[in-house]
Amino acid sequence: MIPVASRYVLKRSLFGFDINKKGTPQGTVKVPESLGIVVGLVFLVLAILFQYFNFTADSNWLVEYNAALASICFMILLGFVDDVLDVPWRVKLLLPSIAALPLLMAYAGHTTIIIPKPLVSYVGQEVLDLGCFLSYSDINLTLMKAYSLKVLEFGSPSQQAVYLCKELTDSFVVAGWMYKLYMGLLAVFCTNSINIHAGLNGLEVGQTVVIASAILIHNIMQIGASSDTEYKQAHAFSIYLVQPLLATSLALLSYNWYPSSVFVGDTYTYFAGMTMAVVGILGHYSETLLIFFLPQVLNFLLSVPQLFGFVKCPRHRLPRYNPETGLLTGTRDGTLVNFYLRIFGPKSEKSLCIHLLLVQALGCCFCFMLRYFLAGWDKLP
Ligand code: UD1
Ligand code: MG
């Protein structure tokens, strides 16, 4: 469908010029833009049909699964709006937080946090599931438990025990909406960080392919390592969404790889980022997900001065192309692409993209090692 849709988007003047080929005949070719819309729609059709084969009507997963699909669908719409209208940068940043709303409102799953050691004796457990504190009666029940433990410890009811329990209540209520805020911010980060680690043929889709593969491996490993049914289900759920993301992205990559015959548009970067944020949240491994995003975190940190207006931010923060040598040289703009070029010297667009994808893959290996040394192959949030 990508070549077919390419003809249609060109007809409606949805195209871009390949900036890193400026000065060559290739740089004057109109490259069809926003082909992410095609793979996004194929993804949705697959993910929607999949329910018929995997879920029974009374499945608890259906609510969250459909909320996830609504958020992804909303994100594709807003990404396409951005491509067509070219909305200002500040508005762009907010779009994912709007698209994440369906998931945030429907989310009633695990919100596990690890209790700091000094509090463990009061709460009576090491890990707390904040998802169960959505109602006050649940909070009261846990507090009663905490209180009786405290009383047992002191030998009699005491003012200190009451005070500690009051503090706990406040932190529980805050954590309820704070977890939703955290999910919203994660969606904003995942989408935008992929969108701004861009500008080389194949980089937007390439990084998604690497991260999605790492997510898939992680899920399979967790299912293999655990005997907890619910835990396995969360990771299986994540596979249901990551697998079609990986497959559709590979199709897009074959057209977007150097030299690109199509551009993916913000439709794609937002769609891919949102899908990965959603699987991280619903699979309960958002912390691991952020380590898979290590190069994106680095790119974001390098970008902070320009993103927040301390330094002037041009429309495109790309390296400089030298038509004589055919190589890219790093510019002063704060991106990982420029940073890499300035450290390792000029490179061709294709080899630079391959280098950056290898860095991404190394980051994922580092994440697997970190998890292994921290917790063995067992579960860890
Ligand atoms: C983000 C980056 C911007 C970068 C751009 C490239 C920030 C704040 N913004 O902007 O610095 O220049 O992505 O995608 O970091 N293009 C190429 N070759 C490619 C891919 C894109 O030349 O391999 C050009 C094309 O002209 C294309 C345009 O970039 O039409 C798409 O840019 P868009 O995705 O709209 O830019 P932003 O996401 O706003
Ligand atoms: Mg973009």
- Structure confidence at residue 132 (pLDDT): 46
Instruction: Looking at the CA of residue 92, tell me the nearest atom of ligand 1.
Output: 39
Instruction: Looking at the CA of residue 199, tell me the nearest atom of ligand 1.
Output: 6
pLDDT digits (tens, 9 = 90+) for 77-124: 999 999 999 998 889 989 999 999 999 888 876 665 555 556 667 777
Tell me how far apart the alpha carbons of residues 339 and 320 are, in angstroms, rounded to a whole number: 13
Q: How far is the CA of 317 from the centre of ligand 1 (A)?
A: 8
Q: How far is the CA of 274 from the centre of ligand 2 (A)?
A: 14
φ, ψ for residue 323 (rounded to 5)? -65, -25
- Structure confidence at residue 124 (pLDDT): 73
Q: How far is the CA of 279 from the centre of ligand 2 (A)?
A: 22
Its pTM stands at 0.87
- CA-nearest residue, atom 31 of ligand 1: 265
Q: How far is the CA of 192 from the centre of ligand 2 (A)?
A: 9
Contact (CB, 8 A) for 31 and 15:
yes
- Structure confidence at residue 162 (pLDDT): 66
* Residue with the two structure tokens 């080929």: 21
Cis peptide before 259 (omega within 30 of 0): yes
Contact (CB, 8 A) for 261 and 234:
no
Instruction: Looking at the CA of residue 335, tell me the nearest atom of ligand 1.
Output: 15
φ, ψ for residue 129 (rounded to 5)? -100, 105
Best residue among 10, 17, 19, 335 to mutate for probing ligand 1, ranked by most atoms within 8 Å of CB? 19
Overall residue count recorded for the chain in this entry = 381
Instruction: Looking at the CA of residue 16, tell me the nearest atom of ligand 1.
Output: 30
Tell me how far apart the alpha carbons of residues 224 and 141 are, in angstroms, rounded to a whole number: 35
ipTM of the complex: 0.98
Paired with 268 in beta bridges are none
- Structure confidence at residue 167 (pLDDT): 63
* Residue with the two structure tokens 């009507």: 57
Paired with 328 in beta bridges are 321, 347
Contact (CB, 8 A) for 12 and 30:
no
Both tokens of 64, joined, read 């969250």
Ligand nearest to the CA of 304: 1
187-201 burial: b if 16+ Cβ within 10 Å, else e: bbbbbbbbbbbbbbb
- Structure confidence at residue 128 (pLDDT): 60
Best residue among 18, 263, 302 to mutate for probing ligand 1, ranked by most atoms within 8 Å of CB? 263
284 conformational bin, left if phi > 0, alpha if psi -120 to 50, beta if neither: left
CA-closest candidate to residue 280, choices 215, 232, 233: 215
Q: Which residues of the chain have pLDDT under 50?
A: 132-134, 174-175, 381
Paired with 31 in beta bridges are 16
- CA-nearest residue, atom 15 of ligand 1: 196
- CA-nearest residue, atom 28 of ligand 1: 16
For 181, 211, 296, 367, the CA distances from 363, given in Å and listed in that order, are 27, 9, 10, 6
User: Cβ < 6 Å from ligand 1: which residues?
Assistant: 16-20, 33, 195-196, 198-201, 260, 263, 266, 316-318
DSSP 99: H
- Structure confidence at residue 96 (pLDDT): 97
Calculate helix-pair angle for 61-85, 265-282, nearest 10 degrees. Answer: 160
Opening angle at CA 364, ends 94 and 109, nearest 5: 55
Opening angle at CA 160, ends 157 and 165, nearest 5: 90
- CA-nearest residue, atom 4 of ligand 1: 316
- Structure confidence at residue 134 (pLDDT): 46
Q: How far is the CA of 185 from the centre of ligand 2 (A)?
A: 19
